[in-house]
Structure 1
Amino acid sequence: MATQAHSLSYAGCNFLRQRLVLSTLSGRPVKIRRIRARDDNPGLRDFEASFIRLLDKITNGSRIEINQTGTTLYYQPGLLYGGSVEHDCSVLRGIGYYLEALLCLAPFMKHPLKIVLRGVTNDQVDPSVDVLKATALPLLKQFGIDGESFELKILRRGMPPGGGGEVLFSCPVRKVLKPVQLTDPGKIKRIRGMAYSVRVSPQMANRIVDSARSILNKFIPDIYIYTDHMKGVSSGKSPGFGLSLVAETTNGTFLSAELASNPQGQGAAVLPEDLGRNCAKLLLEEIYRGGCVDSTNQSLVLLLMTLGQQDVSKVLLGPLSPYTIFAASEELFPGYV
Structure 2
Amino acid sequence: MEKTSYMRFKGSRHFRQRLLLSTLSHRAIIVEEIRSNETPPGLRSYEISLLRLIEKISDDCKVEINETGTKLKYKPGVLMGGRNLVHDCGLGRSIGYFLEPLVVLGLRGKKPLSIRLKGITNDPKDPSVDTYRHTTFHILERFGVPKEGLQLKIESRGSPPLGGGEILLGVPSLPSFSAITWIDEGRVKRIRGVTFTTKVSADFDHRMMYATRGVFNRLLPDVRIEKDHRSEPNAGRSKGYGLSLVAETDSGCFISADVVICYPKVDEMETFDDSEEKPQLLPPEDVGIQAASILLGEIEQGGVVDSTHQGLLFLLCALCPEDFSKVRVGKLTPYGIETLRHVRDFLGVTFIFEPDPATNTIILKCRGSGLPNLSRRIS
Q: Report the TM-score range of the alignment, normalised by the length of the smaller protein.
A: over 0.9
The residue that corresponds to 1:113 in the other structure is: 113
Does the 8 A contact of 2:244 with 2:291 survive in 1? yes
1:306-325 equivalences under 5 Å are 306-325=318-337
Between the aligned partners of 2:192 and 2:213, the Cα distance in structure 1 is: 11
The residue that corresponds to 2:30 in the other structure is: 31
1:186-335 equivalences under 5 Å are 186-265=186-265, 267-334=279-346
Q: How many residues in Structure 1 have an aligned counterpart in Structure 2? A: 333
The residue that corresponds to 1:58 in the other structure is: 57
SS of the residue aligned with 1:333? helix
SS of the residue aligned with 1:260? strand
Q: How far did residue 269 of structure 1 move?
A: 1.8
1:21-100 equivalences under 5 Å are 21-84=20-83, 85-100=85-100
Structure 1, unaligned runs of 5 or more:
none
Give, as a single letter, the amino acid of the residue that structure 1 aligns with 2:337. Answer: I
Does the 8 A contact of 1:239 with 1:264 survive in 2? no
SS of the residue aligned with 1:258? strand
Moved more, 118-127 or 266-275: 266-275
| Structure-1-length-normalised TM-score | 0.96
Does the 8 A contact of 2:161 with 2:262 survive in 1? no
Give, as a single letter, the amino acid of the residue that structure 2 aligns with 1:210. Answer: Y
Between the aligned partners of 1:268 and 1:30, the Cα distance in structure 2 is: 44
SS of the residue aligned with 1:243? strand
Amino-acid identity (%):
42
Between the aligned partners of 1:189 and 1:335, the Cα distance in structure 2 is: 37
Between the aligned partners of 1:176 and 1:40, the Cα distance in structure 2 is: 43
Does the 8 A contact of 2:87 with 2:118 survive in 1? yes
Q: How far did residue 103 of structure 1 move?
A: 2.0
Between the aligned partners of 1:25 and 1:52, the Cα distance in structure 2 is: 14
| Structure-2-length-normalised TM-score | 0.86
Between the aligned partners of 1:258 and 1:17, the Cα distance in structure 2 is: 21
Does the 8 A contact of 1:9 with 1:335 survive in 2? no
SS of the residue aligned with 1:14? coil
The residue that corresponds to 1:142 in the other structure is: 142
Does the 8 A contact of 1:110 with 1:173 survive in 2? yes
Q: How far did residue 60 of structure 1 move?
A: 0.3
Give, as a single letter, the amino acid of the residue that structure 2 aligns with 1:31. Answer: I
SS of the residue aligned with 1:287? helix
Root-mean-square deviation (CA, aligned residues, Å) is 1.4
Between the aligned partners of 2:37 and 2:220, the Cα distance in structure 1 is: 51
Structure 2, unaligned runs of 5 or more:
269-278, 349-379
SS of the residue aligned with 2:338? helix
> Which is higher, the Rg of structure 1 or of structure 2?
2
